[in-house]
Amino acid sequence: MTGCLIIHGYTGSPYEVGPLAEYLREHTDWLIDVPTLPGHGSELSLENVSHKNWLEAAEHSLQQLKMKTDNVYLIGFSMGGMIAAYLASKYNVDKLVLLAASGKYLSIRQIMRDVKGVLSDGIKGKIKENNLYLHYKRKWGTVPLKANIEFLKLVRFTRRYLDKVKAPVMIAHGQQDMMVPYKTGYYLEKEMTSDQKEVVFFEKSRHLICLGEDNVTLNRLVYEFLTK
């Protein structure tokens, strides 16, 4: 049996990768696990969790999945991508998919574009139709500074393991990503020493790539990469 572990991003939940997880469930007989990292989920509780807690939780999920399956695929979104890369450097996994992985972060130029879009919809009375605003509204004011520091620690820690990843890897990124510059895809490709590396950019997608306009194409390409 094949197992597939999908890891969501910082301050996120399995919802962020939901469409991809459902697509893989519909088109395969794989055992698919999408755990919720400590302090994450529909209600954030990040005050007393560390980057080590996130790494340990994801590693435990991978260990459990490997016990039940013959081969394992790893998929990680944003911070989850860096966690997935770290786990791929430690364990024998068959393939790795990185979705908007946060090897670098904050595209100031794109942030300004998106802020203008939110303000424009606010002026037009369409703020409740702005998906970007709706997604991040619940997070504003609920993320403690300590948690942000732990996020930065995790990125710095996991970067050191990129050159130890040997599994075939697919790197996907949205060109409109305001959180993680799309050129991070080139950075990840350069750092990893895998013999097989694929980099795909999606013109219309922002950071939430699994929920974006290109998600139908993304789902198909990930499936094809994992099954070919």
> Does 214 participate in catalysis according to the annotation?
no
The one-letter amino acid code at 98 reads L
Task: Please tell me which residue in 8, 40, 51, 207 is annotated as part of the active site.
Answer: 207
Active-site position among 40, 51, 78, 102: 78
Number of helices (H) and strands (E) in the chain: give both, helices first. Answer: 8, 6
Is residue 72 within 8 Å of residue 5, measured between CB atoms?
yes
Q: Report d(CA 127, CA 140) in Å as an integer.
A: 16
Laid out side by side, the sheet with 31-33 consists of 31-33, 2-7, 71-77, 95-99, 169-174, 197-202
207 is catalytic: yes
Catalytic residue status for 29: no
List 33, 114, 177, 214, catalytic entry: 177
Q: How many CB atoms lie within 10 A of CB 102?
A: 28
Q: Write out the catalytic residue numbers.
A: 78, 177, 207
